[in-house]
Amino acid sequence: MLVVMKAQATEEQVRAVCQKIESLGYRAHPIPGAQRTAIGITGNRGEVNPSALDELPGVAEVIQVSKAYKLVSRETKPDNTVVRFANSDATIGGRELCVVAGPCAIENPEQAFAAAERVAKAGARFFRGGAYKPRTSPYAFQGLGVEALKIMAEIRETYGLLIVTEAVDHESLDEVAKWADVIQIGARNMQNFSLLKHAGHAKKPVLLKRGMSATLEELLMAAEYVMSEGNYNVILCERGVRTFADHTRNTLDLSVIPAVQRLSHLPILVDPSHGTGKRNKVIPLSRAGVAVGADGLMVEVHPDPDRALSDGMQSLYPDQFDELMNEIRQIAPVVRRTVAEAPARVNAAKMRSAAGESAATL
Ligand code: PEP
Ligand code: MN
């Protein structure tokens, strides 16, 4: 159910409607829009009786949202969601493509800084690196945990990159929310409902990756779990699904991008690294991801992929990442997007000293 307020409704009237909704035992989600404010109603006690809200001052209409997902739906919020950050002008879902790049896992300060320096110089505005790694084998590298989060916080200081990193359980999510800028929920946890609800209480945006066998509706319902708890900054990510194809690690489902954009206002990124599992396919699928209209890319880049502790086969060499950025800079205008220029904002002296000092200080 959705309460649409009149364009001239006052803040006080919006507040009064929210209070009424909460007094009926539901949750109210005010959603400011370009034209008017709407108030989403969620809860699991059955439908609200519209007559309880219809006549309240400032209410234009009370409508039924036809989809199972409510807050995620474009019916509820027609305008695209643009995720913003307190200390940066980078956005996700705006005109500028969001490029998240970095190694699969943070292995040590030297490796992390070497990757960060190159991705920052190439124009990425977000740095990724796993601190908590969900690995198929218990004997595979599991990540450095908080130590990795501290390394990435230094990277943010040095290069002005925003940090994206995965949480795998409640405890790691609390740590990630403290140190990073975006909390990633990985494919294997897309339907970990307890983790999704916990992320809904976090004060940082959530990057939600599609499960490897998840339908579009299941992905959107997972996002609904986060939003229903009050965290409206959710970014989706297509990272490939399991099919019978065996020439790639997963099958990157690019057709899901326009399908999501039709149904939802949430931004969506493409991850061609996990989506293909093969370095030689990452640039072509990145081009395709931008061309299909994704809001950005998440790409694995490693200074020495052949010695990476995880996902080396799909990690780009830094020179290849330069090439990727050059290519998407040319495609972006066709889909009315921009790509950040290689920054003057990276302070060269600071960078040099960071690269030299990182081993000693971290
Ligand atoms: C990752 O981004 O490093 C990762 C583990 O991705 P996914 O959850 O898509 O497998
Ligand atoms: Mn990886």
Which ligand is closest to the CA of 214, given by its number? 1
Global model pTM greater than 0.75? yes
Q: What are phi and psi of 244, to 5 degrees?
A: -75, -10
Distance from the alpha carbon of residue 340 to the mean position of ligand 2, in angstroms = 24
Question: Is 343's pLDDT higher than 80?
Answer: no
pLDDT for 294? 98
Q: Which residues pair with 325 in a beta bridge?
A: none
Distance from the alpha carbon of residue 155 to the mean position of ligand 1, in angstroms = 21
Tokens for 152? 């990435």
- Of the candidate ranges 50-64, 178-192, 334-348, the one whose mean pLDDT is the lowest: 334-348
pLDDT for 45? 84
- Could you tell which of 133, 141, 144, 166 is best to mutate to test the pocket of ligand 1, judged by most ligand atoms within 8 Å of the CB? 166
pLDDT for 353? 57
Q: Considering only CA atoms, which of 156, 119, 150, 163 is closest in space to residue 301?
A: 119
Q: What is the CA radius of gyration of the chain?
A: 21
Distance from the alpha carbon of residue 210 to the mean position of ligand 1, in angstroms = 10
Question: Is 361's pLDDT higher than 50?
Answer: no
Q: What is the mean pLDDT of residues 291-320?
A: 98
For residue 209 and ligand 1, the question of a CB distance below 6 A is answered with yes
Which ligand is closest to the CA of 187, given by its number? 1
Contact 286, 117 (CB under 8 A): no
Q: What percent of the chain has pLDDT over 90?
A: 91
CA distance 354 to 362: 10
For residue 130 and ligand 1, the question of a CB distance below 6 A is answered with yes
Ligand 2 ion: Cβ-proximal residues, 5 Å cutoff: 104, 311
Computed over every residue of the chain, the mean pLDDT equals 94
Q: How many helices (H) and strands (E) does the chain have?
A: 12, 14
pLDDT for 360? 40
Question: Is 349's pLDDT higher than 70?
Answer: no
pLDDT for 47? 83
Q: Whose C-alpha lies nearest to ligand 1, atom 10?
A: 187
Paired sense of beta strands 98-102 and 296-300, if any = parallel
Distance from the alpha carbon of residue 330 to the mean position of ligand 1, in angstroms = 28
Render pLDDT for 235-291 as a digit per residue (tens, 0 to 9): 999 999 999 999 999 999 999 999 999 999 999 999 999 999 999 999 999 999 999
Report the 10 Å Cβ neighbour count for 280.
11
- Could you tell which of 209, 236, 269, 299 is best to mutate to test the pocket of ligand 1, judged by most ligand atoms within 8 Å of the CB? 209
Atom index in ligand 1 nearest the CA of residue 209 equals 9
For residue 274 and ligand 1, the question of a CB distance below 6 A is answered with yes
Q: Whose C-alpha lies nearest to ligand 1, atom 9?
A: 187
